[in-house]
Chain A
């Protein structure tokens, strides 16, 4: 057992924290108000290697693995949940789905531009009638000569309006359905027949654009198939499994930001002739936040270590996302309470944090799905197969 981070990881955290503090935190409020993350910011992150943290250097990545990626997402989400969501969807599920099962040629073609921020990636799974029940997808891919024609819709796609490369799960064999009859395709946004809807109006994450994607007979060459024909559902589920670890890391950063702000405010604000920190109610809220955050930190980095060591991690990844999103919501809720009326004001960051945090209990598999994943893993160990 050694809980020390290597000098490389420490240096990585230092570099990312300074970028977040200098480039992202100062514009986080503006991003929420305008709903816009400047493409220049993403390019800058790309130039620094931040958009390729977990991937090998041969594909333009930084080679810092899952632990490095978690460090990055934790720091990023401390500064701005909108930016972290764009980056997380880009790396953690977008590029990741290509990295896990894509051909060498496909990776060589797309990943350097994606890791350097020249291009933005999206992961397209959800459809109007396929949310938690992801196997209910209907978007169809039909073979025509050397190409597949994609026809259908995806919805709630993070980075949809800004993505240049979209990894899409489509049904290639309707008789088999999603499990055994679905395939992943890398689609370029400039191809004919592809279009996106208006960005959704959401409660939070205003700077992270989400939209409908329309595929109106988009011709996709066979070389752009990711993984094997018919096994796309497996690729996507594997991607989501691993994505939950870094999502847990992001929630860790959000929760930490809530605690940091609360500690500062408990020192600044006085009522009844003393700093509110001297009230037990406030002290206990701070203590509970810190305790939950440390337990989450231990879980997230241990799970990241499982991933990097090639050990099984599916159950623990579900726990990272489940526990992390609930802790982040609870922490920001307490932070709002500690700030009193100012916690409700859009002039203070807690208000934004409260709206931004809520989606983590829903996206990338609702917390109900996480519980099903965890319970399924538990029961599978004793030979019982669960169905949702």
Chain B
């Protein structure tokens, strides 16, 4: 056991931190108010390699391991949840699925522009009637000459309006449920792809979430990702990746909320003293600080499992579930420390409070994470639980 960061890891962390503090912090509030994805910021981040951090260098990425990648997510999450999740969806769900199971030709074609940020990735899985129950897809891929024809509606597609490429999941054998799902790489602008309604959300207002329609959309066989009916495996592995990434974003958000609360409590005077001297305030701070360190431990552990090629899925679910709750509790308690100022848009804490609420829902709800965690416990007893 050694928790020391290597010189290289420290260097990466400082690079991420520096960039986030200098470039992201100043646009986060505007992004929230304007509800526009900060495309200029994305270009700057991409120039630093942040859109291809874990993509190997031969495909145009930086090729960093999971541990530093979680530190990137954490630093982005500290300053702008919308930006952090844009990068996370693009990288952990979209690009890394192609890296994971794509053909050499697919990797050569898609990964370099994705790593450079020219092509933003999205992941079109959720449907109006397939949320937690992701295997009940109504989007159908019908085999036709030279490829497939896609028909269906995808909802809550993050990055939908800014994406250059979608990884799309469709039923190729509806009766087989999760054994009948196939993944496709679909370029934005392909005939039959329409980007529709932009969701108006409580937080994450810079995240471009859309309904995407596929209407008689032809996808050549060369753009099928992995084999026919092999989609569920891609979904499972992508879910593990996004969960660990979201856990790290939660950590960043919790740390940022804590810092805002501590700063406010150190400055705000009531009853002739800084409110930092009140036990009630100290208790909130201590509780959140403990949560933050526990969460960091879970993330480091899951990242170590991933980096040493061990199964990290359940560890990622644990970190994601715990992290989302830690982030919400941190924003909630630190908002309380702010008193009336906490309810004002003039102070950043209310933005964190709105943003972090999504973390308990997106990337798999709390309820799904609990199922996954408990499933592991019961597997040891030979019981296979069902959702």
Contact = CB atoms under 8 A, between A and B. Distances in A.
B354 A355 contact: yes
Interface stretch (A86-94, A216-224, A249-257, A335-343): A335-343
Contacts of A351: 201-202
A308 to B, nearest CB: 31
Contact of A345 (B199, B271, B272, B370): B199
Given A337-B365, A354-B357, A358-B353, A129 B269 contact: yes
A366 B365 contact: no
Interface in B124-139: 126, 129-133, 136
A203 B354 contact: yes
B360 interface: yes
Interface stretch (B4-12, B212-220, B285-293, B342-350): B342-350
B200 interface: yes
A131 B201 CA distance: 31
- Most interface-central of A344, A345, A351 (chain B CB within 10 A): A344
A358 B333 CA distance: 11
B345 A340 contact: no
Contact of A203 (B272, B339, B350): B350
Contacts, number: 105
A267 B370 CA distance: 22
Contact of A358 (B136, B335, B345, B361): B335
Nearest to B204: A344
A372 to B, nearest CB: 9
Interface of A: 126, 129, 131-133, 136, 156, 200-204, 270-273, 279, 281, 336-337, 340-341, 343-347, 351, 354-355, 358-359, 361-363, 366-368, 371, 388
A201 B33 CA distance: 11
B339 A131 contact: yes
6 contacts: A129-B269, A200-B346, A273-B136, A337-B365, A358-B353, A361-B336
Interface string B301-339: 000000000000000000000000000000000011001
Interface of B: 126, 129-133, 136, 155-156, 199-203, 269-272, 278, 280, 335-336, 339-340, 342-346, 350, 353-354, 357-358, 360-362, 365-367, 370, 387
Contacts of B358: 344
Chain A interface, DSSP helix/strand/loop, else mixed: mixed
Contacts of B129: 270
Which 6 interchain pairs have the tightest Cβ spacing? A201-B345, A133-B270, A346-B200, A271-B133, A203-B350, A351-B202
Contacts of B269: 129
A126 B339 CA distance: 12
A122 to B, nearest CB: 15
Contacts of B342: 362
Contact of A343 (B280, B344, B350, B361): B361
A202 B345 contact: yes
Contact of A355 (B202, B280, B344, B367): B202
B344 A201 contact: yes
Contacts of B339: 131-132, 362, 366
Nearest to B345: A201
Contacts of A366: 336, 339
B340 A271 contact: no
A211 to B, nearest CB: 12
A133 B271 contact: yes
Nearest to B338: A362
A278 B360 CA distance: 21
A202 B202 contact: no
B264 to A, nearest CB: 12
B336 A362 contact: yes
A346 B336 contact: no
Given A271-B133, A388-B271, A341 B126 contact: yes
B35 to A, nearest CB: 10
A362 B203 CA distance: 21
Contact of B357 (A201, A279, A344): A344
B344 to A, nearest CB: 6
Given A129-B269, A344-B201, A363 B360 contact: no
A336 B270 CA distance: 34
Given A203-B345, A273-B136, A371-B280, 5 more contacts: A131-B270, A279-B367, A347-B200, A354-B202, A367-B336
A202 B130 CA distance: 34
